[in-house]
Amino acid sequence: MTAIDPRELRNACGQFGTGVTIITTHCQGRDHGMTANAFMSVSLDPPLVAISIAKSAKMLCNIQNTGRFAVSILAEGMEDFAWHFAGKPKLDLCDVFERRNELPVIANAAAYFVTDLADEIVAGDHTIFLGHVREMALEPGKKPLLFCRGRFGGLADPHPAPATLENAAYEFVW
């Protein structure tokens, strides 16, 4: 069996376009944030979302210590926030957070979720955190910031899903 090259795996996964989020928590009197695209909806009932954090990330211990985290989905034009929380500080950014249920969220984000930690699953060099959503909000008029192939982008011309498919899940059998 041939070993999978980690860089090639990363490049292949980069073909999958994602949204861009900032994961935040408040630990030991300070706000902490990191950029991530490993976010997904898990369940509507109960309301659960998941994030995946590298074992080497400082955020891992912060979430474990607080038992809470927030996810802010960035809107188009918020690339500076993504870079800032990815370790390339933008010194002109100020007042980036709003408080929601005692946690920091990114002001003017396309959406946010405030969660209590429901479970954590060790998966290789990452930990997957399941968060029980306690509060959320969205700005339906804002377009999401997207990330694909190592670059930021946006929706060229978003089209709503047909009414018959909206919020539906289908399984196709061949």
Q: Are residues 96 and 35 in contact, defined by beta-carbon separation less than 8 angstroms?
A: no
Identify the pLDDT of residue 119.
Answer: 98
Q: Which CATH class is domain 18-153?
A: mainly beta
Question: What's the CA gap between 130 and 132, in Å, rounded?
Answer: 7
Q: Where are the beta strands (DSSP E) in 8-164?
A: 18-19, 21-27, 30-36, 39-43, 48-54, 68-73, 97-100, 103-106, 111-123, 126-138, 146-148, 151-153
Say which residue the tokens 């607080």 belong to.
66
Count other Cβ atoms within 10 Å, centred on residue 49: 21
Q: Going residue by residue through the chain, which has 174 residues, state the pLDDT in tens, using 9 for 90 and above.
A: 789 998 898 888 887 888 999 999 999 999 999 999 999 999 999 999 999 999 999 999 999 999 999 999 999 999 999 999 999 988 888 789 999 999 999 999 999 999 999 999 999 999 999 999 999 999 999 999 999 888 888 877 666 666 665 555 555 555
pLDDT of residue 170: 56
Q: What is the pLDDT of residue 110?
A: 97
